Amino acid sequence: MRFRFPLLIGAILALLAACVSAPTPASQPAIALPKEPQTLNVLTHDSFAVSEELIKKFEADNQVKINFIKGGDTGSALNRLILESISGSVKADVFYGVDNTFLSRALSQNLFEPYKAPALAEIPGEFQLDATNQVVPVDYGDVCI
């Protein structure tokens, strides 16, 4: 089962990366917001954290309620998503937190709907690990042992 809300996928990833998008030029049509708030279910790892202020702003700006589903560490969360996909009972609309160590497994399962984020051109090529645009890089860091 592929994820719903393809336009919101990019929006939530932009939010979680604390990026601010540029105003939409008048030549591009604006995305119509739903009249009633919808729920956006985000499956993520247990250690994911974002400020309540940022969540509330995103919810107000996009007329959506965010429901975070904590799935354990990244491997456990991805396993959960794969099993839900196989059984046809996916609970999440968005998966946040797949890293480069689990990326090939996630992509091989065809779990994600392609989305080319408008700001993708601003991300250095070394961080764009998926030419099919099924995942969008939102951060990076070093792990020192």
Domain architecture of the chain: domains with CATH: 6-18+34-127 (3.40.190.10)
Tokens linked to 97:
């937190």
Give dist(CA 110, CA 43) in Å, integer: 16
Reduced 3-state DSSP string for the chain: CCCCCHHHHHHHHHHHCCCCCCCCCCCCCCCCCCCCCEEEEEEECCCCCCCHHHHHHHHHHHCEEEEEEECCCHHHHHHHHHHHHHHCCCCCCEEECCCCCCHHHHHHCCCCCCCCCHHHHHCCHHHCCCCCCCCCCCCCCCCCC
Tokens linked to 107:
């992509």
- What is the pTM for the complete model shown? 0.70
Q: What does the chain come to in residues?
A: 145
Which of 36, 95, 44 minimizes the C-alpha distance to 65? 36
Give me the tens of pLDDT residue by residue for the chain, a chain 145 residues long: 455 444 445 445 444 444 344 444 555 556 665 666 699 999 999 999 999 999 999 999 999 999 999 999 999 999 999 999 999 999 999 999 988 889 899 999 989 988 888 988 888 888 888 888 888 888 888 878 8
